[in-house]
């Protein structure tokens, strides 16, 4: 394989890379899929796997009137017109086919879908879908297709093989330097598809790109931004460098760490669990109506807080009365963290709690007192509506939360054929990029639109593999 000129080297066997490789291989392209990790799947191992699409058979069955233009309009409404118009149109136009294709391949759809999802700014109509096992349901389909293609010798795959560098070949195409264990090798290829994901596993790169925001992310370590760095060294352009919005919010699994266990995150979505606690910033001031129904509004308020941080404050009575704050975490497990993790603090009075947390004692005491007045009067100063009970029975508790980076926002600039653009705005021939390496802001602008990372990753992978990549000899399409 090292001597022959491949049709395509696909880098990254995740959400975007697997469909690219499988579809291209079925057309007869000579494809090598390389994956740095020991297993395929990338972020699908942890992703919620929410997808959004219109014109699907499931929507039709439910009588939901919807089309790609309505999806585009909705994303543009949510993002205040900041999504990339061409890429958004490409993704939205083909997303319905992606969902129907997944269903044809045996995808196990959750029976309630499509729905309006509330974890991000909601769409106007039900067009969000997920599998019964979240991202793993998508991976189950992709893995089966990949295994079949490998079994049929339609493509080659190398696990634990990392792309280290790319050089343009004099006559066109690329020479790729690969590292498998300690062994270096090169391959020559007409086209390269960078499907290497985001950089949510790389705190230094994240800080460099966002201009110093702290990272807290559930992304796997494989999301190290190495593919992005390679493309930037070749002259690729970074788009949306200044766009960033934290998701509300999480606690690092380990003190000082930047990894968040998303499966056991705290449940701060008011539509799922109306808040019993108050949120105060590092000074001790409330800064948001904790049950504001708009995720976008809550996220923008959080972005203004130093270190993207706040304390979730409650009292003994809330501890006993309220539904569990953390998903899949019994109360006693949460309690065991107090005294063992600096993000968890407990004290007999609000003032002592503030001192333990490094807040201003008078400001925290005032925040609690004003909240309690609001509960008594049925009217909160910040407009919060869910006011279940006063916070006045010690001991008092505080859990330090931080804004979460669910997916990276900045990424490579590409044209409508998903070719990486060089410094002069011209496409670098034969170099494509898809998935989170494009940055989430390309598809949902400076806000979150549900499903607009996973669905475009799958959809662009399918489009590249089915038609955009050039193949020397074509078989019948998948
Ligand atoms: C907890 C969580 C929940 C999420 N929920 C949703 C959701 O509900 N809906 C949504 O739309 N989005 C969601 N996202 C985001 C979405 O899952 C990702 O953006 C998307 O899956 C990324 O797909 P990808 O193919 O670009 O990257 P990945 O799936 O991460 O695949 C990239 C692959 O490339 C490999 N790789 C990296 N560098 C190299 C290299 N140099 N050489 C070889 N291989 C390399 C990696 O090992 C990895 O396997 C979520 C993200 C997280 C972390």
The CA 113 to ligand 1 mean position distance, Å, reads 23
Residue among 261, 453, 462, 463 to mutate when testing ligand 1 (max atoms within 8 A of CB): 453
Cα of 219 from ligand 1 centre, angstroms: 8
Q: Are residues 338 and 368 in the same domain?
A: yes
Query: For residue 457, what pLDDT is reported?
Result: 98
CA-closest candidate to residue 138, choices 185, 194, 195, 99: 99
Residue 67 CA to ligand 1 centre (angstroms): 27
Q: Is the CB of 15 under 6 A from ligand 1?
A: yes
| The two three-digit tokens of residue 110, written as one number | 């959750």
In a domain, 474, yes or no: no
For residue 173, how far is its CA from the centre of ligand 1 (angstroms)? 26
Gap from CA of 47 to ligand 1 centroid (Å): 8
Quote the pLDDT of residue 393: 98
| Nearest CA residue ID for atom 27, ligand 1 | 197
Cβ(454) – ligand 1 distance below 6 Å: yes
- The Å distance, Cα 314 to ligand 1 centre, comes to 35
Q: What is the CATH number of the domain that holds 346?
A: 3.90.700.10
In angstroms, the CA 215 to CA 247 distance is: 11
Domain count, the chain: 2
Separation CA 55–CA 117 (nearest Å): 18
The answer to whether residue 475 is domain-embedded is no
Q: What pLDDT does residue 242 have?
A: 87
Domain that holds residue 463: 5-239+407-468
| 76 and 212 part of one domain | yes
Whether residues 411 and 364 fall in one domain? no
Per-residue pLDDT tens digits for 195-234: 999 999 999 999 999 999 999 999 999 999 999 999 999 9
Q: Is 47 in the pocket of ligand 1 (CB under 6 A)?
A: yes
pLDDT for 474 = 60
- Quick one: 385 exposed, middle or buried, by C-beta within 10 A (0-12, 13-18, 19+)? middle
39 C-alpha vs ligand 1 centroid, how far in Å? 13
Nearest CA to ligand 1 atom 17: 47
Output Rg (C-alpha) for the chain, integer angstroms. 24
- Tell me, yes or no, whether 14 and 99 share the same domain: yes
pLDDT of residue 6: 96
- Answer whether residue 477 is part of any domain: no
Whether residue 461 lies inside any domain: the answer is yes
Could you tell me if the CB of 262 is within 6 A of ligand 1? yes
Q: How many helices (H) and strands (E) does the chain have?
A: 14, 17
- Answer yes or no: do 367 and 459 share one domain: no
This prediction's pTM: 0.95
Write the residue with the smallest CA distance to atom 31 of ligand 1.
14
Percentages of the chain per state (helix, strand, coil), in multiples of 5? 35, 20, 45
pLDDT tens for 5-40 read 999 999 999 999 999 999 999 999 999 999 999 999
Same domain membership, residue 233 and residue 162: yes
Select from 360, 377, 404 the last residue of a domain: 404
Tell me if 453 CB under 6 Å of ligand 1. Answer: yes
| pLDDT value at residue 475 | 58
- The reported pLDDT for the residue numbered 3 is 62
pLDDT of residue 2: 43
Is there an atom of ligand 1 within 6 Å of 196 CB? yes
| Ligand 1 center from residue 19 Cα (angstroms) | 13
Q: Which residue positions in the chain have pLDDT lower than 50? A: 1-2, 476-478
Distances 185 to 31, 175, 177 between C-alpha atoms, Å? 16, 10, 6
Specify the residue with its C-alpha closest to ligand 1, atom 23. Answer: 15
- Indicate if 211 and 285 belong to the same structural domain: no
């Amino acid at each position: 394989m090292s001597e022959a000129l491949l049709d395509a080297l696909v880098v990254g066997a995740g959400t975007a890379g697997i469909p690219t490789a499988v579809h291209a291989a079925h057309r007869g392209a000579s494809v090598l899929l390389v994956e740095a990790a020991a297993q395929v799947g990338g972020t699908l191992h942890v992703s919620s796997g929410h997808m959004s699409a219109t014109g699907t058979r499931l929507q039709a069955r439910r009588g939901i009137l919807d089309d790609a233009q309505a999806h585009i309009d909705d994303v543009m409404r949510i993002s205040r017109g900041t999504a990339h118009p061409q890429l958004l149109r490409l993704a939205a136009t083909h997303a319905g086919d992606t969902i129907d294709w997944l269903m044809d391949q045996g995808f196990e759809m959750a029976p309630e879908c499509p729905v309006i999802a509330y974890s991000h700014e909601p769409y106007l109509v039900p067009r969000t879908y997920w599998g019964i096992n979240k991202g793993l349901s998508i991976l189950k389909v992709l893995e089966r297709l990949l295994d079949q293609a490998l079994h049929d010798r339609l493509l080659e795959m190398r696990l634990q093989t990392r792309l280290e560098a790319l050089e343009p070949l004099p006559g066109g195409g690329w020479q790729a330097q690969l590292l498998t264990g300690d062994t270096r090798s090169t391959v020559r290829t007409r086209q390269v598809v960078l499907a290497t994901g985001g950089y949510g596993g790389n705190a230094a790169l994240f800080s460099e790109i966002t201009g110093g925001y702290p990272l807290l992310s559930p992304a796997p370590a494989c999301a190290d931004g190495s593919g992005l760095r390679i493309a930037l060294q070749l002259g690729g352009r970074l788009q949306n460098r200044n766009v960033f919005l934290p998701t509300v919010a999480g606690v690092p699994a380990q003190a000082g760490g930047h990894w968040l266990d998303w499966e056991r995150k705290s449940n701060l979505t008011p539509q799922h669990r109306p808040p019993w606690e108050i949120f105060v910033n590092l000074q001790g001031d409330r800064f948001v109506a904790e049950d504001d129904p708009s995720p976008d509004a809550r996220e923008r308020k959080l972005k203004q807080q130093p270190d993207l941080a706040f304390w979730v404050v409650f009292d003994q009575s809330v501890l006993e009365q309220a539904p569990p704050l953390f998903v899949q975490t019994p109360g006693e497990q949460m309690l065991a963290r107090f005294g063992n993790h600096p993000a968890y603090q407990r004290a007999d009075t609000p003032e002592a709690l503030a001192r333990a947390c490094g807040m201003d004692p008078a400001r925290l005491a005032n925040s609690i007192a004003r909240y309690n007045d609001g509960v008594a009067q049925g009217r909160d100063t910040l407009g919060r509506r869910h006011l279940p009970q006063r916070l006045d029975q010690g001991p008092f508790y505080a859990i330090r939360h931080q804004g979460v980076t669910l997916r990276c926002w900045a990424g490579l600039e590409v044209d409508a054929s998903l070719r990486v653009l060089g410094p002069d705005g011209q496409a670098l021939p034969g170099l494509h990029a898809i998935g989170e390496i494009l940055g989430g802001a390309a598809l949902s602008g400076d806000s979150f639109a549900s499903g607009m990372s996973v669905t475009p990753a799958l959809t662009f992978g399918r489009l590249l593999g089915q038609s955009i990549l050039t193949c020397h000899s074509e078989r019948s399409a998948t």
